[in-house]
Each structure stands twice: as structure tokens, then as C-alpha cells.
Amino acid sequence: MKAWAQFFEMGGYAFYVWGSFGVALLLMAVEVVLLRRRRRRVLLQQSDRAPKMKVFKENETTT
Amino acid sequence: MARRKINWYKYTSPASFYPLAGKVIPFFAALAAVLLVVGLYLGFFVAPKDAVQGEAYRIIYIHVPAAWMAMFMYLLLAVYAALGLAFNARIWAMMAAAIAPTGAMFAFISLWTGALWGKPMWGTWWVWDARLTSTLILFFLYLGFISLQSAIEETRRADRAGALLAIVGAINVPIIYFSVQWWNTLHQGATLRLGRSASIAPVMLAALLIMIAAVWMYSIAVTLMRVRNIILERERHAPWVGELAGEVK
């Protein structure tokens, strides 16, 4: 337990060391999440396209 | 003897590059994860603390890989942009566009970790010296490339304008690299230099090299993920993209 506490203290440089690694790893993780979301969004838009065009056409004929 | 001929040219077509990229992404992602764990383990638990800088020196294990990646990705960006200008295959400009955001992120990480390292060691977050200033310019070049591309509606013109900026900006990379040799600076000299033995202990060097490899593998995986998204967006009218839409639930 004590060894871990000492480890996280980083000899008094905890803020600088964990601030560096924390932000870097967080950004890298966020990038992957954003890319996955973007992919889902693009593919969903793609599958939405066909039915939407149909609806548009139907409206057109009623007016 | 029959020579098996692979038609490499085929892979400059987005439709055939897309599935190829999809196949290799898991491999690079897994490699990145393993190397990251090993590199962090070596860097934090095996490598001893620095005689002068104490535990704070461990920031090197993220700072140097990020800075290298930011510089190298910019050169790649310029090369892909130039290929896009020279040849008429769309994939080159797509690759350039896919590299930029990750390069910008690593440029930011190198500035951020540099500030957090500078504060305890130099007593300041920032100085306007050659190395730091040229790295800041690198970050702005990435942002400039990204915003220039997104500001121009027509894809081809956006690619061309971005490519010019990317190529002209490449002059900044050697300036960053040699800045610690050319000018007096607060920044310490290079830890690793081509053609010289490293100025650190072997286990520290191993941890650093493994972290560099990890960041490399991560960058390849993420860039391929992004180029796949770009292909889907730009080729959305192609029939093969329409068929893919069934993939997502």
C-alpha cells in the first residue's frame, strides 16, 4: 500500500508526471472513440438515404 | 519460373484500399496496446529515477515519442500531399487529410508535456526559444491545413490548397530537429541522435524506443481508421459504399 502511495507521489512531481501521461492517454482514447462514432454516423446516414428519398418523392406527388 | 505479380496500383483505388485497411487495423491496434503496456511498465517500474531530474524525467517517455511522431507525421503529410498533386489518384489526398488531426494531436501533446516538464526543471512553462517556438509553429501548420481544407467546399480545390500549405510548411521540420544544435536554447540536447550512441542508460533507452514504437503503431491504426471514414464520406455515391451501410446496426 505504502509502496503504491510512494509510486503515485512521483518524488513530489506527481502533478507534472501524471498531468503529462493522463492528458496524452486521454486524448488518444478520445480520438479512437470519436473515429468510431464518425464511422457509425456515416454508415447510418448511408442506410437512411434510400428510404428518405422515397418519402420525399411521395410528398412531391401529393402537392 | 512464374513470377507472382501483385498489382500495387490497384490499392490506390479507394474501393480496394478500404477493405485492405480494415484488415490491418486490428493488427496495428493490438501491437500498439501491447507495446504501450510494456513501454509504460519499463518506463515506470524498471527504469531507475534520473540522478539529476528525479522522477520528473519520466515525462520523457511520452514527450519524445509524441514530438517525434508530430514531426514525422508532418513529413508524411507533405509527401502524401505532393503525391496527390502529382498523380491523379484520390487516395493520396485522403491519406494526407487522415494524417493531419493525429499529427496535430501529437504536436499538442509534445507542447503540453513539454510545459509540464519545463515548469519543475526550468522554472517556467514556456520560453520563446527556437525549439519550442518552431514546435508551436508545427502545431499551427497542422491546424492551418485542417481549417483550410474544411473551409473550401470543393474537395479537389481543398486538397490542392492544403497540399501547397503542407509542402511549404515542411521546411519547419528540419528547423525543429536541428534547433537545439543551431541555437542556444534552454531545451536539453537530443537524447537520441542518428549515428551516435544514446546519452541514457540501456533500460531507459529500451523503454523510450518501445514507447516510440507504440505511438507509431497507434498512429498507423488511427490514421487508417480515419482514412476509411474519409473514403466513406467522399465516395458515398459509389454503389459499394451503399452496400456497406448494412454493416452497422
For every residue of B141-198, DSSP letters joined together read HHHHHHHHHHH-SSHHHHHHHHHHHHHHHTTHHHHHHHHHHHS--SSPPPSS-TTS--
In a domain, A17, yes or no: no
Q: How many domains does chain A have?
A: 1
pLDDT at site B200: 78
Q: Is A9 part of any domain? A: no
Q: Specify if B171 maps to a domain.
A: yes
The answer as to whether B242 is a domain residue is no
b/e for A30-62, b at 16 or more Cβ within 10 A? ebeeebeebbeebbeebeeeeeeeeeeeeeeee
Question: In the structure grid, which three cell numbers stand for residue B106, read together?
Answer: 501529437
Mutate to test the interface with B, among A6, A21, A27 (most CBs of B within 10 A): A21
**Tens digit of each residue's pLDDT, chain B (249 residues):** 456 666 666 777 888 899 999 999 999 999 999 999 999 999 999 999 888 888 999 999 999 999 999 999 999 999 999 999 998 788 999 999 999 999 999 999 999 999 999 999 999 999 998 899 999 999 999 999 999 999 998 999 999 999 999 999 999 999 998 887 787 777 887 777 666 666 778 899 999 999 999 999 999 999 999 999 999 999 888 888 888 776 654
In whole angstroms, what is the distance from residue B168 CA to residue A10 CA?
A: 42
Interface contact flag, B55 A44, Cβ < 8 Å:
no
The pLDDT of residue B7 is: 67
Q: Which residues of chain A have a pLDDT value below 70?
A: 49-63
What pLDDT does B189 receive?
Answer: 75
H or E segment and range at residue A5: helix A2-9
Residue appearing with cell numbers 507495446? B35
| B123 found inside a domain | yes
Domain with B172, as residue range(s), is: 23-233
**Burial class, B210, CB count within 10 angstroms (exposed 0-12 / middle 13-18 / buried 19+):** buried
What total number of domains does chain B contain?
Answer: 1
Pick from B59, B228, B236: CB nearest A46: B236
> CA angle B126-B127-B129, nearest 5°?
140
Size of interface A-B (CB pairs under 8 A): 91
Q: In this structure, is residue A6 part of a structural domain?
A: no
Q: Which residues of A touch B (CB under 8 A)?
A: 7, 10-13, 15-17, 19-21, 23-24, 27-28, 31-32, 35-36, 38-40, 42-47, 49-50
Q: Which of B55, B101, B119 is facing A10, going by the closest CB pair?
A: B55
Task: Point out the residue among B222, B233, B242 whose CB comes nearest to the CB of A32.
Answer: B222
Residue A33, in any domain of the structure: yes
Residues of B in contact with A43 (CB under 8 A): 232, 244-245, 247-248
- What pLDDT shows up at residue B181? 78
User: Which of these, B238, B213, B241, lies nearest to B229 by C-alpha position?
Assistant: B241
CA distance A46 to A25: 32
Average per-residue pLDDT for chain A: 82
**pLDDT for residue B215:** 98
Position A49 scores a pLDDT of: 64
Q: Which domain holds residue A62?
A: 22-63
CB pair distance less than 8 Å for A13 and B55: yes
Cα distances from B181 to residues A3, B177, B208, B216, in angstroms, run 41, 9, 22, 26
pLDDT given at position A62:
45
Q: Is residue A56 part of a domain?
A: yes
Backbone angles phi, psi at B50, to 5 degrees: -75, 145
- At B1 the pLDDT is 46
pLDDT value, residue B110 = 97
Q: Is B11 inside a domain boundary? A: no
- In which region does residue B123 sit, left (phi positive, over 0), alpha (psi from -120 to 50) or beta (all else)? left
**What is the per-residue pLDDT for B243?**
80
pLDDT in tens, A19-32: 999 999 999 999 99
Q: Does any domain span residue A5?
A: no
b/e per residue, B129-167, with b = 16+ CB within 10 A?
A: ebbbbbbebbbebbebbbebbeeeeeeeebbebbbebbe
Task: Give domain status of residue B249, yes or no.
Answer: no
Tell me, what's the pLDDT at B248?
57
Q: Is residue A61 part of a domain?
A: yes
Q: Which chain A residues are within 8 Å of B56, Cβ to Cβ?
A: 10-11, 13, 16-17
- Cell numbers found for residue B198: 544514446
Q: Give chain B's contact residues with A (Cβ, < 8 Å).
A: 40, 44, 49, 54-56, 58-59, 62-63, 66, 101-102, 105, 108-109, 112-113, 116-117, 119-120, 218, 222, 225-226, 228-229, 232-233, 236, 241-242, 244-248
